[in-house]
Structure 1
């Protein structure tokens, strides 16, 4: 079968690989659509980050090259011995966490913090940028009949955003600043809207993404090149600051503006993956008891995300800006999302079935 493999920085190749088998406890899925994630782009531009190179991943036992892709939907075509929740023909998505199930975090149900954590499509256990993949049934979820395969491929990034909102202990009527309006920033805006945010301000430099942010539910979009965002945020919140900020840029400007814009005892959640370190003065936290919290992926959020998207509380309209064939993923996918046209795109989704593009 065909699959997109990461060999190294700026080295992704579509090759023929062995088709996976539905072994004990595994569900075999024929992939319909798979999104290209920001994590995939980080691996393409600056990896390896999550991808095991040289030393095998402790759970998958594999090293690069690895099959990419973790935001995908498809049909069950076969189930392994012992699988009881699924049958051939079921429409599904995968929650792509690879966890040991035995460490202290896993035993507490916080499997996204597993000491040996990996991600399907990054750690060498297979991936969604392929014709077929297999995954344990406990991390496979059925999708409603009225949800398209394309929209189902957006559940994973939406679950990232929903988890970050939960980690912030965000409450109905709270105020928020979202730093950046790429795919995760836009998903965060939608989740905040669904959570009943009183005010959503977004940091976004001038581009079409400002319009995307407004469409997602932002009340105000500000360009840091044009205004002092912390000052504007304080004006909008009675001189206090927002209850929570959500950093999705992975850039120092977002980090710094976020800390300065939250109120006393406010919370900044860092959802972005960073390619290099940053610095700040801890007094920014000490003098006002502000908090910085990291958030990684999701845990137990997939069912809620599917329900919120199915009933329209999270619309996810307009996210898919391009559909491409697997064979063209480097030029039409990775190069597009890292080149001069990148700001025009939110989510590029990929299919191994050429007929879906006709």
Structure 2
């Protein structure tokens, strides 16, 4: 089968590799669609980060580079390993793409398996990936979805679950006002979850396309261009002088972090959802004087079932966020290049590893 293989910084190759076979307790999936994530771009530009090197394996899989990429994907079950009897060939599924130690409790009550030592992600740290025609995944990480959800939209359930967990971390509730810094994929899906839960959403974003996308998709009540408006002043105007109850930093840009601090009300909650590749110049005095509650969020933990339900019940429409579809051969030149150099023109670009659906 064909797969996108990560060799090193700025070195991703489309190659022929052996088809996987499902071991006991595993599910074989024909990949339908796989999204390109900001983390993939970080690996390409600045990595390896989650990916292994040629000499240093990831801590749990033992794999060294090259590894297959892709962790935002949907597909159809095509085979079942020994002992898997609660799925059937033909089921539509998405994957919670974790690589986690066998000794870690990952049951439905766990709230911290995503923070366990050595945690990594399928499609980054090894164990196959969604930027391939097929993948074998442990049953624990495979989630059945209703076939009424189109498989291209289903590929966005993984980033949507990131947004769901970020909202969960914020303790936002119906009637609150949220400010989101950045209307990229994670900002937009976070907004979608907030709107589904009755929160008023204000988004700050430079890109006209992404601001319009937030409005057209119905996930933002107000959008602000930070080049032409004072974002914090606009938030106070919209909240009768109070400020936002919660804010989500989705850019890893210093000026955005500063703006969110300004726009939050006293005792507001600031959730950092982006991956920072550098240290922030954080104004600790402002945090203290406003009693801001600063929280980090990473990925998800037992959030997929609730997120899938939101989509199946029609409370979130993922279709508006898909702005491009490409084949595996266009991954770098059409996909990565667009998202790195012209990211104001796109939101989520999906890849069809088999070429079907293009």
TM category (shorter chain) comes to over 0.9
Measured after TM superposition, the shift of residue 101 of structure 1 is: 4.6
Contact 1:100 1:117 in 2 (8 A): yes
Match of 1:59?
A: 60
Distance 2:145 2:344 in 1: 30
Residues 265-314 of structure 1 deviation map (CA, whole Å, 9 limit, x = unaligned): 11111111112111112111111210111100011111111111122111
Query: Per the alignment, in what secondary structure is the counterpart of residue 174 of structure 2?
Result: coil
Query: Per the alignment, in what secondary structure is the counterpart of residue 354 of structure 1?
Result: coil
Residues 301-349 of structure 1 deviation map (CA, whole Å, 9 limit, x = unaligned): 1111111112211112311111111122111111121123x21111111
Match of 1:161?
A: 163
Contact 1:85 1:137 in 2 (8 A): no
Match of 2:9?
A: 9
Distance 1:67 1:276 in 2: 26
Mapping for residues 36-115 of structure 1, pairs under 5 Å: 36-53=36-53, 54-103=55-104, 108-115=110-117
Contact 1:103 1:115 in 2 (8 A): no
Query: Per the alignment, in what secondary structure is the counterpart of residue 309 of structure 1?
Result: helix
Query: Per the alignment, in what secondary structure is the counterpart of residue 52 of structure 2?
Result: coil
Distance 2:159 2:237 in 1: 32
Change over 3 Å in CA distance of 1:275–1:6 after alignment to 2:
same
- Residues 1:133 and 2:135 are matched in the alignment: yes
Query: Per the alignment, in what secondary structure is the counterpart of residue 276 of structure 1?
Result: coil
Distance 1:352 1:317 in 2: 20
Measured after TM superposition, the shift of residue 108 of structure 1 is: 4.1
Match of 2:318?
A: 316
Distance 2:341 2:277 in 1: 18
Match of 1:287?
A: 289
**Paired residues, number:** 355
Query: Per the alignment, in what secondary structure is the counterpart of residue 257 of structure 2?
Result: helix
Distance 1:109 1:247 in 2: 22
Match of 1:221?
A: 223
TM-score normalised to the size of structure 1?
Answer: 0.95
TM-score normalised to the size of structure 2?
Answer: 0.95
Change over 3 Å in CA distance of 1:315–1:325 after alignment to 2:
same
Query: Per the alignment, in what secondary structure is the counterpart of residue 143 of structure 2?
Result: strand
**Equivalent of 1:143 in 139, 142, 145:** 145
Measured after TM superposition, the shift of residue 262 of structure 1 is: 1.1
Unaligned runs of 5+ in 2: none
Distance 1:238 1:75 in 2: 50
Distance 1:231 1:104 in 2: 46
Query: Per the alignment, in what secondary structure is the counterpart of residue 186 of structure 1?
Result: helix
Query: Per the alignment, in what secondary structure is the counterpart of residue 33 of structure 1?
Result: strand
Mapping for residues 209-248 of structure 1, pairs under 5 Å: 209-216=210-217, 217-248=219-250
**Equivalent of 2:298 in 279, 296, 299:** 296
| Larger CA deviation: 225-234 vs 188-197 | 225-234
| Larger CA deviation: 107-116 vs 76-85 | 107-116
Match of 2:30?
A: 30
Query: Per the alignment, in what secondary structure is the counterpart of residue 202 of structure 2?
Result: strand
Measured after TM superposition, the shift of residue 105 of structure 1 is: 8.9
Contact 1:105 1:113 in 2 (8 A): no
| Larger CA deviation: 135-144 vs 221-230 | 221-230
Query: Per the alignment, in what secondary structure is the counterpart of residue 290 of structure 2?
Result: coil
Measured after TM superposition, the shift of residue 52 of structure 1 is: 2.0
Query: Per the alignment, in what secondary structure is the counterpart of residue 140 of structure 2?
Result: helix
- Residues 1:354 and 2:355 are matched in the alignment: yes
Contact 2:165 2:299 in 1 (8 A): yes
